[in-house]
């Protein structure tokens, strides 16, 4: 049964809705989410409500920051965390509705394992906060090898950097374009970054997610109404640069 794996929605509802439509059009019923449903974007309540229907929800560093403390966040990101927190406690909304949102956050797991696959937001060894960057393959190959040694499944899926692609032992990194949008499973171990639904940073503003088929991974890009998200940002006090970066996908 094909499964959609999404990550880093970041309270961007138009992007989330476009991706969910794409998933539905493909007839896919199972959705796993690698975290950061909230943070940065203007519609945290709506995105959390929608993600409660997913089959798995992992905790990202933005959920952790809202639930506990914003560790390692720059001042702008910290301000967005505080604003998000206020939205989830909005006293104009029914108390039970707010409680349900916090319950969703509280129920998020750090990792999930099934069928020789491990899921985490950051990395397999530090599932919430650690980044695995593309440049680590050149700058810190030992780190990448250690990450491969830190889990036993054949394939790990992560998000967090908002840049999709496949890390392979060696180590090396392949972009989705370099592999024709598909990665064959079973030949080599891999750490697959699924990219970001709501704040892609690879220069392509379209939402990114993957479909896990029986023997391969398919990278998917979905156009969404970015200008609509930018308009929704303008109704909030969130910094403008968070909206404008979406237009460029940076
Ligand atoms: Fe993120």
Q: How far apart are CA 128 and CA 21, in angstroms?
A: 28
Query: Domain holding 10: CATH number?
Result: 3.60.21.10
Tokens (6 digits) for 51: 């993600």
The pLDDT assigned to 198 comes to 98
Is residue 225 scored above 90 in pLDDT? Answer: yes
- Residue 52: what pLDDT? 97
Q: Euclidean distance between the first and final Cα of the chain, in Å?
A: 33
How many Å lie between the centroid of ligand 1 and the Cα of residue 36?
A: 5
CA of 186 to the centre of ligand 1 (A): 28
What CA–CA distance (Å, rounded) separates 44 from 26? 26
pTM: 0.97
pLDDT level of residue 48 (50, 70, 90 thresholds) = very high
Domain hosting residue 132, numbered range: 3-248
Q: Give 38 Cα–ligand 1 centroid separation in angstroms.
A: 9
pLDDT by residue (tens digit) across 167-219?
999 999 999 999 999 999 989 999 999 999 999 999 999 999 999 999 999 99
> In the beta sheet, which residues pair with residue 193?
158, 165
State the distance from the centre of ligand 1 to the C-alpha of 168, rounded, in angstroms.
22
**Number of domains into which the chain is organized:** 1
3-state secondary structure of 58: strand
Ligand 1 centroid from CA 242, angstroms = 12
């Amino acid at each position: 049964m094909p499964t959609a794996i999404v990550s880093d929605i970041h309270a961007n509802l138009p992007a989330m809705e476009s991706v969910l439509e794409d998933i539905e059009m493909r007839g896919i019923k199972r959705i796993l989410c690698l975290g950061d449903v909230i943070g940065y974007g203007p519609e945290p309540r709506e995105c959390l409500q929608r993600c409660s229907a997913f089959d798995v929800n992992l905790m990202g560093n933005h959920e952790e920051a809202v639930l506990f403390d914003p560790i390692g966040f720059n001042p702008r990101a910290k301000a967005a965390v505080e604003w998000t927190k206020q939205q989830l406690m909005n006293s104009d909304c029914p108390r039970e509705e707010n409680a349900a949102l916090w319950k969703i956050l509280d129920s998020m797991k750090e990792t999930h394992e099934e069928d020789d696959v491990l899921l985490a937001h950051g990395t397999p060894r530090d599932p919430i906060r650690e980044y695995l960057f593309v440049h680590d393959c050149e700058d810190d190959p030992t780190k990448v090898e250690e990450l491969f040694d830190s889990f036993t499944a054949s394939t790990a899926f992560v998000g967090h950097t908002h840049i999709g692609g496949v890390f392979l032992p060696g180590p090396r990194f392949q972009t989705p374009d370099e592999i024709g949008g598909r990665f064959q499973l079973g030949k080599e171990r891999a750490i697959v970054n699924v990219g970001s639904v709501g704040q892609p940073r690879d220069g392509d503003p379209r939402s990114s997610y993957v479909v896990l088929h029986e023997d391969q991974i398919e990278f998917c890009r979905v156009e969404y109404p970015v200008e609509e998200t930018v308009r929704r940002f303008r109704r909030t006090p969130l910094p403008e640069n968070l909206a404008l970066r979406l237009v460029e996908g940076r």
